[in-house]
Amino acid sequence: MISADVHNARSFTPLPLVARAELGDAAAIAWLLRRLAPETIPVPENEIRCDIDRYRVVRQGDEIVATAALMPLDRNHLELRSVAVDPECGGRGLGTQLVSALQWEVLLQGRHLRCVTVNPGFFERMGFSRIPMRRVPPKPGRDDCTAGRARVAMEWRPKSYREKGNDDDQPELDSLHSNLLLQA
């Protein structure tokens, strides 16, 4: 069944600023993730190449200035990973636009989004709520990479999934849409 969220979301046209990554982007994505460690967990270039369809990027000229990936978690959930904005481009709304675009994709799939982060404040601004850590499977060999910073598990659900029967989901869609328009 198509939910009201999906129906309403399809009547909007997201901007093309956030693009699907291409194979030739893998090295630049790996470099950006390494550069932002320990806030992001570095991912080897060959792994990125294998999962390239799951990565999204924001380009500025020939450079990749932001990236994020959507990984399958279970039937109802995707995991948002490797969110990274080049520090030289930080604070200009790129992180907001990137995460909003991925929220949009998740909305269209009728699924929910989870993540583990050392920066919960940013995700709270994006409508995520804290959840128990056990709800996001550990990543062997990677969970000890955050240099002692507390990791927080978070989840984003479109409002109509949280409150069944509540049709008042337009404000949330409007907010996602205006985030996508932010850098127009």
Tokens 């309403």 belong to residue: 8
Can you name the residues that pair with 68 across neighbouring β-strands? 56
Strand ranges inside the chain, DSSP E: 18-20, 55-60, 63-74, 77-85, 112-117, 129-130, 152-156
In the complex with ligand COA, the residue whose CB is nearer, 57 or 160, is 57
In the complex with ligand COA, the residue whose CB is nearer, 43 or 160, is 43
**Distance in Å, CB of 167 to ligand COA, minimum:** 29
Which residue has the closest beta carbon to ligand COA? 95
**Distance in Å, CB of 76 to ligand COA, minimum:** 21
In the complex with ligand COA, the residue whose CB is nearer, 10 or 125, is 125
**Distance in Å, CB of 99 to ligand COA, minimum:** 7
CB-hemisphere CA count at 13 Å for 82? 30
| Both structure tokens of 171 | 């404000």
**Distance in Å, CB of 48 to ligand COA, minimum:** 15
38 prior amide bond cis, ω within 30? yes
In the complex with ligand COA, the residue whose CB is nearer, 14 or 93, is 93
Please enumerate in sequence order all residues whose Cβ is within 8 A of that of 167, keeping only pairs 6 or more positions apart, or say none: 4, 160
Q: Which residues bind ligand COA (CB under 6 A)?
A: 36, 39-40, 83-85, 90-96, 117, 119, 121-122, 125
**Distance in Å, CB of 138 to ligand COA, minimum:** 15
Please enumerate in sequence order all residues whose Cβ is within 8 A of that of 178, keeping only pairs 6 or more positions apart, or say none: none
In the complex with ligand COA, the residue whose CB is nearer, 108 or 182, is 182
